Amino acid sequence: MRYAMAIDTKKCVGCSDCVIACQIENEVPVGYCRDWVTETVHGSYPMLELELRSERCNHCDNPPCVRCCPTGASHVVEGGVVLVTPNKCIGCGACIESCPYEARYSHPDGHVDKCTFCIHRIRKGLQPACVAVCPTRCMYFGDLDDPSSEVSEMLRTRKYKVLAPEAGTKPQVYYLV
């Protein structure tokens, strides 16, 4: 099993519903977030390209954060989901520095926090909160090892990219372009 997310940049309007849905679902304190929207503009007026991306932890296949963690608080569970166990985390920040995606933040309670792919929802057979709320339905979540999953289907039929592939982390959030 290999959980992954595919996000269609052709449809995303950058509304940030994914951000607020995550904040509410996961009780992320106001002022912090586990996912966010970035905007990149290429070209110059009037030949322009704009890409909006909902970003989050990439649940890398080769997660530097897990390697760096001195206590095992950062660990990998089923489907390659990278989690942090708050009461094992000493807040050393090594994982924050090791993440090329800046997906981790220091929770005001002291431990490090990040996207969990809403594993508590996945385990109940639900979609992650961001995916479930997205008005443009531009996000797909599922198991890459299952060829019939929506996300497998998307990666089979569409062009895609990942962020900072040169960092060697093998990220599992794919952007359909």
Residues 85-114 that bind another protein (CB under 8 A): 86-94, 97-102, 106, 109-112
For position 14 contacting another protein by CB under 8 A, the verdict is: yes
Sequence-ordered alpha helix ranges (H) in the chain = 17-25, 64-68, 94-98, 119-122, 129-133, 150-157
Q: Give the long-range contacts of residues 88-96, CB within 8 A, separation 24 or more.
A: 94/65, 94/68, 94/69, 94/70, 95/64, 95/65, 95/66, 95/68, 95/69, 96/65
Residues 34-73 that bind another protein (CB under 8 A): 38, 41, 43-46, 48-52, 64, 67-73
Least distance between another protein and beta carbon 82 (Å): 14
Among all chains, which residue has been given the structure tokens 């963690």? 69
- 61, 76, 77, 132: which one binds another protein (CB under 8 A): 132
Least distance between another protein and beta carbon 162 (Å): 11
Least distance between another protein and beta carbon 114 (Å): 13
Q: Which CB, 79 or 171, lies closer to another protein?
A: 171
Q: Which CB, 4 or 69, lies closer to another protein?
A: 69
Q: Are strands 82-84 and 3-8 parallel, antiparallel or unpaired?
A: unpaired
Q: Which CB, 1 or 24, lies closer to another protein?
A: 24
At 103, list the tokens.
């997906």
- The Cβ of residue 141 has, within 10 Å, a number of other Cβ atoms equal to 23
